[in-house]
Structure 1
Amino acid sequence: MKEAFSNLKIIFGIDLILFFFCISGIVQISEKAKLPFGISQSDNQLFITSAQNNRYNFLNNSELIAVDGLRVTSTESVELIQI
């Protein structure tokens, strides 16, 4: 009986570690690039859909070619840019 209880502790410990690992992944997902506009994709082109702030002079339906000098071709590539 003690061996079963010991195994249960080990399994619970591993589950707890995996739980915190998953929680940290959720936090990382919420930390995506915060851009002052919305993006839509058509073929291999990205377009600005909703410019939220006119401070940067982005126009709606403008093509997005690069961010900080890095060429972007998909929404995923924009999300991976470290700002």
Structure 2
Amino acid sequence: MLLSLLLACGGGGLVGQAESAADAACACADAACAKEAVAAFNKVSFKADAEKKAFSPEQKAAFDSAVDRMSSCRDALMK
């Protein structure tokens, strides 16, 4: 629920949303929570191809870093 609210607010554009989603996934205590955080972000990200194509190199690096962190936190809880 909190993640949905964070993503809806759109603070910082897609990069900010990725960072918020990574924070949410990494704050989870179980795999189900982390999977939900990743799934909620993916719904937003998959619709934002034009924004991703317009990223500066710095934005792309920040986005990729947040997505990697989000995935790592989810994967760690799935073990």
TM range (shorter): under 0.3
Higher Rg of the two aligned structures: 1
Q: Larger relative CO (CA 8 A, sep 6+): 1 or 2?
A: 2
Normalized per residue, the structure richer in helix is: 2
Q: TM-score, normalised by structure 1?
A: 0.26
Normalized per residue, the structure richer in strand is: 1
Q: TM-score, normalised by structure 2?
A: 0.28
